[in-house]
Structure 1
Amino acid sequence: MATRPVFIPVRNGAQLFEVRNFEFLWHPGFAESQKRKNVRGLHLAASNAGLGRVLEISTKSEEELGRRLSAFSLKYRLGDKDIPMESLYQGSKVFTKGGPYIDIYDKTPIEAKRDQRIRTSGNIVWFQIEGTVYSSSPTNAFYDWVYIRCLYRHEDFLTRNLSSMDGFSDIEFNPERSINSQARALAILMSLSACGRLKESAEDYELFRSKISRTFSTL
């Protein structure tokens, strides 16, 4: 058995998401078929609890939109280049012993995550893009903000296609071992959209960070 979260947008109030955890039968293994069995198991458990429409946000999603919204599929516009979101995130890290390693911007998402410097340069102290420094607190704020920056100009499309969803899952996200979740980032985006604060939050990191901090203080 395993327990995984579903992230639920909050369409009014100051909180940016809710989280509900569900237990289900876990199918071990790295095969895509095993991953999708786990997605189905999580979604069935959520449905039995009243969350009938949950979209998996990852490359393991059975829905094309879920795969398109994966962090491995998104691009971040930087100058005149479109950089894979995951590569931008990893390459912007500044550690106690080095960084940012902006050559990672030119790597694939998988190559970016596996770059040895990410593991051997010490603790993250902040993030940096083109000389601008971004705080690393709360720990997930920069990742969520970059995710939202990739998508906020498509707000109308997202609203049309996702407003009926009860929540979002990310089967690879284990809160006991991981910090970032693309499903949580999307739930936050949808909450900001519902209250009319998406564009200003995507364009102002400190504003976004303050909203995230208030949400985590209530969890």
Structure 2
Amino acid sequence: MAKRPVFRTHDLGPSLVESELIEFKFHNGMAIEQKRKSIAELHYAISQKYPSSKILEVSTKSLNPLGVKLSAFNLKIQDKKRNLTYSVESAYQSSKVFEKGGPYIDILKKSSLEAKKDERILNSGALIGFEFFNTKWGVVPQTAFYDWLYINALNLEKSLHDELIKYHCFTDIEFNPLKSVNCQAHSVALFSSLYKRNLLDSIKSPEFFLRL
């Protein structure tokens, strides 16, 4: 057995997203078949508690093509100003500022996997902030920069919006809250709530985003 969070959207009220740990039968192994078995078990456990909710796995392991497209590894930013195209993952990794260096802008042009495994990310000391094309962020709140980056990228992918807002619960089987902080499923849930509250027009501003 294992526990993983489900992120539930809220159309109304003070909370935009609710996170809840769900216990389910976990299938060990790195093979995609094992991951998908675990996803099925997690979604079954969620459906037992929230039978009317539609659930979407957001990862490269998702059985739903939409969930695969929404993975930070696959979601692309079309930067017309700089004539560049890069993934959310590469943008996030290239923006990290450490005690001993960064941001490492060249990572922006690497694949998502190469960006995540770049040795400088692992060997530059403690993370002290982020810098994305002159926009600077601190490390508190912990998920703020990642969520802001992801949501602004997703906001440009209009073709995905109508389908994703049909879902109420979002998961990422790879995300373990005991080991990681940022979660793409949380970012998608937050986007959905902002979309339904007509707040997306203001999210480009970090100052506004931090007040949410």
TM-score (norm 1): 0.91
Distance between the aligned counterparts of 1:4 and 1:21, measured in 2?
A: 5
Structure 1 residue runs of 5 or longer lacking an equivalent are 212-219
Deviation track 1:171-219 (CA, whole Å, cap 9, x = no partner) reads 0011111101100000000111111111211x111211221xxxxxxxx
Given that 1:8 and 1:167 are in contact with CA atoms closer than 8 Å, whether structure 2 keeps it comes out as: yes
Alignment partner for residue 185 of structure 1, among 166, 178, 187?
Answer: 187
Post-superposition shift, 1:163?
Answer: 2.8
User: What is aligned with 1:119?
Assistant: 122
Deviation track 1:16-59 (CA, whole Å, cap 9, x = no partner) reads 20112211111111000000001000000001112442100000
Distance between the aligned counterparts of 2:49 and 2:14, measured in 1?
A: 25
User: What is aligned with 1:215?
Assistant: none
Post-superposition shift, 1:156?
Answer: 7.1
Give the alignment of 1:109-188 within 5 angstroms. Answer: 109-155=112-158, 157-158=160-161, 160-188=162-190
State percent identity of aligned pairs. 43
Please, which moves more after superposition, 36-45 or 15-24? 15-24
Q: 1:21 to 1:89 in 2, by over 3 A?
A: same
Given that 2:169 and 2:189 are in contact with CA atoms closer than 8 Å, whether structure 1 keeps it comes out as: yes
Please, which moves more after superposition, 45-54 or 34-43? 45-54
Q: 1:153 to 1:136 in 2, by over 3 A?
A: same
User: What is aligned with 1:18?
Assistant: 18
Structure 2 residue runs of 5 or longer lacking an equivalent are none
Post-superposition shift, 1:135?
Answer: 2.4
Whether 1:105 and 2:108 are equivalent positions in the alignment is yes
Post-superposition shift, 1:155?
Answer: 4.9
Q: Counterpart amino acid of 1:109? A: S
Name which structure has the greater RCO, CA cutoff 8 Å, separation 6+.
1
Given that 2:66 and 2:164 are in contact with CA atoms closer than 8 Å, whether structure 1 keeps it comes out as: no
User: What is aligned with 1:198?
Assistant: 200
Post-superposition shift, 1:121?
Answer: 0.8
SS in 1 for 2:167: coil
TM-score (norm 2): 0.94
Post-superposition shift, 1:157?
Answer: 4.3
SS in 2 for 1:126: strand
SS in 1 for 2:186: helix
Distance between the aligned counterparts of 2:50 and 2:131, measured in 1?
A: 42
Please, which moves more after superposition, 99-108 or 6-15? 6-15
Whether 1:209 and 2:192 are equivalent positions in the alignment is no
Q: Counterpart amino acid of 2:111? A: T
Post-superposition shift, 1:128?
Answer: 0.8
State the superposition RMSD in angstroms.
1.4
Q: Counterpart amino acid of 1:75? A: K
Deviation track 1:87-146 (CA, whole Å, cap 9, x = no partner) reads 110011011110000111111111111111111111111111223312221111111111
Q: Which ranges of 4 or more aligned residues in structure 1 deviate by more than 6 Å?
A: none
SS in 1 for 2:47: helix
Aligned length: 209
